[in-house]
A = this chain, B = another copy of it.
């Protein structure tokens, strides 16, 4: 009810209020609070301003500063199509990016979903980031909308996606597997990404001198997934290894194998992608593949800071290497 300061109707404290309270002019307040090095303010005056500001709880009003020409500290992240925020990889990168940009004095905010971009105008970001890949037309549209630099948060996404599939194949080959399949997710919106990974798996298989992995779809429903896996093994009895599109698909494959009495890894080895935190908890524990994005995130945050400062620059690419995280399923 009456929690301190919770009154929504309370007038905002302005720099005029601080000036009056401190008995100086608004310019002096601005000089002190912004530490203008070209002015030398006596310590007593400075202190008076600081005290008055603290006493009143003064916070400069963002819109006014921005209107005056200050550089915004807001970085807006837009992820059209990523309808659920708990997507593990994307959310992980976005989370770390938020922390990393803060070191540059920037505040990353994430507008979830984000269709209807038109009206998000009073955000006034310094930079807009998006989950769509580099060449997407949306980038141009956004740039026009916001009149600020727009960049893909996932530069060189294809190579990044491909790297994990290659690493999967290499790991399975190193484990002695020769006849592989590629387990694709059923959700149609992931089809394009799955194709990128499948192609990379094919290329890695060719390089290793083994047959190209056959692609099959893993339905969302557990019983249907079991049927799909059994059908796949009947059609390709010599199959001994499965590259799953990601850990989530791999979980379904493991469940399907367990339901069908197919021993993993004795009959088939299974490997996922992403190193999901639940991977260690499956039966058997899921082998997977991981890319180290820490270095990328740090570099990309610096790149965002450059964009925010008005400097054009090439973004650092996502890592194009992945390494296996071997567990019991291979």
Contacts and interface: CB of A to CB of B under 8 A. Distances in A.
Q: How many copies does the complex hold?
A: 2
Interface string A239-262: 000000000100110110010000
Given A122-B70, A123-B74, A251-B278, A3 B139 contact: yes
B283 A258 contact: yes
A8 B307 CA distance: 8
A295 interface: no
B281 A283 contact: no
A307 B6 CA distance: 11
Interface in A97-153: 98-99, 102, 105, 107-113, 116, 118-124, 139-141, 143-150
Given A109-B109, A255-B282, A95 B122 contact: no
Given A9-B310, A91-B84, A310-B9, A59 B110 contact: no
Given A63-B66, A86-B92, A98 B122 contact: no
Nearest to A256: B281
B122 A124 contact: yes
A43 interface: no
Interface residues of A, number: 80
Interface in A146-178: 146-150
Contact of A283 (B150, B248, B255, B285): B255
A12 interface: yes
Contacts of A33: none
Question: Which of A86, A140, A280 has the most chain B CB within a 10 Å cutoff?
Answer: A86
Contact of A143 (B3, B72, B121, B147): B3
A147 B85 contact: no
Nearest to A309: B8
A47 to B, nearest CB: 20
B6 A121 contact: no
A20 interface: no
Nearest to A251: B281
A207 interface: no
B67 A64 contact: yes
A312 interface: yes
Interface in A55-93: 57, 59-67, 70, 72-74, 76, 83-88, 91-92
B148 A8 contact: yes
A323 B44 CA distance: 65
A258 B283 CA distance: 8
Contact of A98 (B5, B61, B113, B148): B113
Given A59-B146, A70-B122, A251-B278, 6 more contacts: A4-B144, A86-B87, A98-B112, A107-B119, A109-B110, A248-B278
27 contacts: A5-B147, A8-B307, A8-B310, A8-B312, A59-B147, A61-B121, A62-B63, A63-B64, A64-B67, A70-B122, A73-B119, A84-B95, A85-B85, A85-B86, A85-B95, A86-B88, A94-B112, A99-B113, A102-B113, A107-B119, A109-B111, A109-B123, A251-B281, A252-B281, A255-B282, A255-B283, A282-B282
Listed from nearest, the 5 A-B pairs whose CB atoms lie closest are A62-B122, A63-B63, A5-B144, A63-B66, A109-B109
